[in-house]
A and B are shown apart, each in its own frame.
Chain A
Amino acid sequence: MNIGSKLSKTNLVYFDNSATSFPKPPAVVDAVVEYMTQAGGNPGRSGHRLAEEAGEIVFLARKALASFFGIKNPMNVVFGPNATDAVNTALKGILNKGDHVITTHLEHNCVMRPLNRLSGDGIIDISVADGDEIGIVSANEIGSLLKPSTKVVVINHVSNVTGVIQPVREIGKMCRSKGVILIVDGAQSGGIVPVNIADDFIDIFAFTGHKALYGPTGTGGMIISDDFDHKILRTLKEGGTGSISDKIEQPDFLPDKLESGTMNVAGIAGLLKGIEFINSLPEGVNSALSHKLTLQKYFIEKASKKVEGFKSYSQTGSPGITSFRMEGFTASDITQQLSDRFNIMSRQGLHCAPSAHQKIGTYPEGTVRFSFSVFSTIAEIDYAIEALKKIRNRNA
């Protein structure tokens, strides 16, 4: 199946979909415009028709996300600006003085920095699971780090640096059996690999809307397991929710408890269409996944053969994410030349994940990262490989 042929593009090649997906499906764009021109009320506040229409958009998005990620209660879908905000809300809302947290080397700074802050403030202590040579951790390894005070395991589901997929279900099963809360950073897994919060024993799944769910930036949040007791989550923000307005106490029910202030309804309208777009693929998220696996395997195998000095730091089987270097060139030089001379967009450096680069031996220089979307094509990869060869030859 050639999903990429569904959307015509200019001669621009965009391989930075792990930063944000581009382009967005036309229905996503149309929904944002429609909200701003036809249905622009404030959901849950006023009682007029436009407020109702906005409220319906938000509800339908909750329902679509609940179904997409395998929970029953749409009220357990909490919207926020992004996955970083969700991870912060979860960690800082749950952890108390003396708690122990287990994480991995492959975390993004959206996990590492809040943990570092909590540790620096003397609130928590942290254990970091080493994993195997590419950073994959096992339930046994996580289990070996458990202490009586372990409250949370927080794990990056899919590495934004290498595309390594962690065995979340196995880890989740172990956590559930020990009464430890599992928080998953799903910024690079939502819409990329199938996620079922119930089957995977996840308590809180932080998602972003603007990457592989093909929504606008500024959308994301958390999906909370039907079984999770949200009463233990302290709020970090309080404010207007449109509910129990006669009281100055924050509501204690979801999603209102965690959704103070007017939300990004224009973005959520687009996000709903992004999810519908993935669901419209013949096998939903599995179609998106197999397309990216095919592209990634093709890129690594062909570039390894055709581009002298090419070294991949990702393995085939990573869902469309490849970190690489080319001997004799800095990552930033390659990225700049790809952009300036060939109109190919990629990302260089540490990808906000210094610890992950330390793990794979590419710190502090970093790597070039190509990250594909359902719209990426083999022809674009062939063009990029030719570009890498030209960069290589001119500077040889």
Chain B
Amino acid sequence: MLNKGIILFHSSNYAMWADNVLKKKNIDHRLIPVPRELSSDCGYCIEFENNSAAEVTKLLKNENIEFDRIETI
């Protein structure tokens, strides 16, 4: 089973916003450099435990934080 989720953003500005929101909700996650195989962006994306994917997605949508996509690895 795939156990990590990666949220990709159009910009690190949005990654920092999401990081701030997930921290406040105590959702286990970390900022990591964007893996080259997933995107050409220079900055960061967010890695989280995949079992919280539904909650993470809901939070991002509630806060209107735009993101590119969520991948599982």
Binding site for B on A (CB under 8 A): 43-48, 51-52, 55-56, 58-60, 62-63, 72-75, 241-246, 251, 253, 255-256
Contacts and interface: CB of A to CB of B under 8 A. Distances in A.
Interface residues of B, number: 21
B16 A56 contact: yes
B10 A44 contact: no
Nearest to A253: B10
Interface of B: 10-17, 19-20, 31-34, 40-44, 64, 66
B48 to A, nearest CB: 15
A52 B13 contact: no
Contacts of A241: 11
Contact of B33 (A48, A59, A72, A74): A48
Interface centre among B13, B15, B66, by most A CB within 10 Å? B13
Contacts of A242: 11-12, 41-43
Nearest to B20: A59
B64 A243 contact: no
A382 B66 CA distance: 55
The interface residues of chain B, by DSSP majority, are classed as mixed
A244 B41 contact: yes
A75 B13 contact: yes
Contacts of B43: 44-47, 51, 55, 242-243
A20 to B, nearest CB: 28
A244 B12 CA distance: 10
Given A45-B42, A46-B42, A47-B33, A60 B12 contact: no
Contacts, number: 81
A3 B58 CA distance: 44
A73 B64 contact: yes
Given A58-B13, A242-B11, A244-B40, 14 more contacts: A44-B42, A44-B43, A46-B43, A47-B31, A52-B31, A55-B12, A55-B13, A59-B17, A72-B64, A73-B64, A242-B43, A243-B12, A253-B66, A256-B13
A58 B10 CA distance: 17
B20 A47 contact: no
Nearest to B42: A242
Contacts of B12: 43-45, 55, 242-243
A246 B42 CA distance: 9
A245 B32 contact: no
A75 B43 CA distance: 16
A55 B13 CA distance: 7
Contact of B42 (A59, A73, A245): A245
Nearest to A259: B13
Nearest to B39: A246
B18 to A, nearest CB: 10
A44 B33 contact: no
Contact of B10 (A59, A74, A243): A243
A44 B11 contact: yes
Contacts of B31: 47, 52
A60 B44 CA distance: 17
B50 to A, nearest CB: 21
Contacts of B33: 46-48
A188 B19 CA distance: 33
B15 to A, nearest CB: 8
Interface centre among B11, B14, B41, B64, by most A CB within 10 Å? B11
Given A48-B33, A245-B42, A246-B40, A59 B11 contact: no
26 contacts: A44-B11, A44-B43, A46-B42, A47-B32, A47-B33, A47-B34, A47-B44, A52-B31, A52-B44, A55-B12, A55-B13, A55-B16, A55-B44, A56-B19, A56-B20, A58-B13, A62-B13, A63-B20, A241-B11, A242-B11, A242-B12, A242-B41, A242-B42, A243-B11, A245-B42, A256-B10
Nearest to B9: A243
B65 to A, nearest CB: 9
Interface centre among A46, A55, A60, by most B CB within 10 Å? A55
Contact of B41 (A62, A72, A245): A245
